[in-house]
Amino acid sequence: MRWQGKSTRKYTGGRIIRSRGKQRFELGGDEANTLLGKTIRRTVKTLGGEKKVRLLRDEMAIVTDPATKATKKVKIETVSGNPANIHYVRRNIITKGAIIKTELGSARVTNRPGQEGSINAVLIPGTA
């Protein structure tokens, strides 16, 4: 978890004397870091009483082929690229924008699995 409140420094480097301490609502949530493996989901309460589904592990993706407009649920083989962090590739962490290798070919993840509870992807043309 990370505190996401205002900085204690001005942009010039001077110190700001806070009138109050850190507040609980200023804490960020835990990272989901969606991995490959048997499906595990966690439900998390959010501000306002809503709920989010965190996808911690999954081995299936819903892949759409833009040429034929067909959508299939396919098995993910591995993560072959991730612009968010180069180290996520060897750890097989799936985030939005990650390139995953599937049975149909390479696909780009279009949603945020840690926030939405599923992996949606679009097939990259010419990689079948």
DSSP secondary structure string, 84-118?
T-THHHHHTEE-TT-EEEESS-EEEE-S-HHHHSS
pTM over 0.75: yes
Closest CA to 32 of 42, 22, 24, 23: 42
pLDDT confidence of residue 87: 95
Mean pLDDT lowest among 28-37, 68-77, 86-95: 28-37
Q: What is the pLDDT of residues 29-49, one digit of tens each?
A: 888 999 999 999 999 988 888
Q: What is the mean pLDDT of residues 102-112?
A: 95
Q: Which residue in the block uniquely carries the two structure tokens 């098995």?
A: 75
For the segment(s) 34-123, the CATH number from 3.10.290.70, 3.40.50.12780, 3.30.365.10, 1.10.730.10 is 3.10.290.70
Q: What is the pLDDT of residues 4-24, one digit of tens each?
A: 888 899 999 999 998 999 998
Q: Which are the contacts of 94, defined by CB distance < 8 A and separation ≥ 6?
A: 34, 35, 36, 58, 76, 79, 82, 88, 100, 109, 113, 119
Residue 59, pLDDT > 80, answer yes
pLDDT confidence of residue 55: 94
Residue 85, pLDDT > 80, answer yes
Phi, psi at 25, each rounded to 5°: -70, -10
Q: Which residue in the block uniquely carries the two structure tokens 């840690």?
A: 114
pLDDT confidence of residue 128: 65
Strand, coil or helix: 72: strand
Q: What is the mean pLDDT of residues 76-93?
A: 95
Domain limits, the chain: 34-123
pLDDT confidence of residue 40: 95
